[in-house]
């Protein structure tokens, strides 16, 4: 699912005092995935991971990531430099 705003994602993590590594551990992904979402290198992730991230951060579904029916639903989209991840 597509991340609505990396800035909101970062703010949500900071409000809850959650580090990249800690969130990655909670949602069972590599810390680089969280780091790439935060930096903007990636703008989307799988639906399953997006749901785990929102649940781990204690936000309602669709708060940080667009729900599947809100737009295109590829699990991975190109970054700003045109590369596919």
Token pair of 12 as six digits? 């949500």
pLDDT in tens, 17-58: 999 999 999 999 999 999 999 999 999 999 999 999 999 999
Distance, CA of 43 to CA of 41 (rounded, Å):
7
Contact 23, 34 (CB under 8 A): yes
Domain-wise residue ranges, the chain: 6-66
Pick the CATH number of 6-66 from 3.30.420.40, 2.160.10.10, 1.10.260.40, 3.40.50.2300: 1.10.260.40
Distance, CA of 15 to CA of 82 (rounded, Å):
32
* Model confidence, pTM: 0.80
Tell me the β-bridge partners of 65: 3
Contact 13, 63 (CB under 8 A): no
């Amino acid at each position: 699912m597509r991340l609505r705003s990396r800035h909101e994602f970062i703010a949500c993590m900071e409000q809850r005092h959650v580090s990249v590594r800690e969130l990655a551990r909670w949602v069972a992904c590599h810390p680089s995935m969280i780091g790439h979402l935060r930096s903007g290198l990636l703008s989307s992730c799988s639906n399953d991971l997006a749901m785990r991230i929102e649940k781990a951060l204690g936000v309602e579904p669709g708060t940080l990531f667009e729900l599947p029916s809100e737009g295109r639903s590829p699990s991975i989209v190109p970054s700003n430099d045109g590369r596919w991840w």
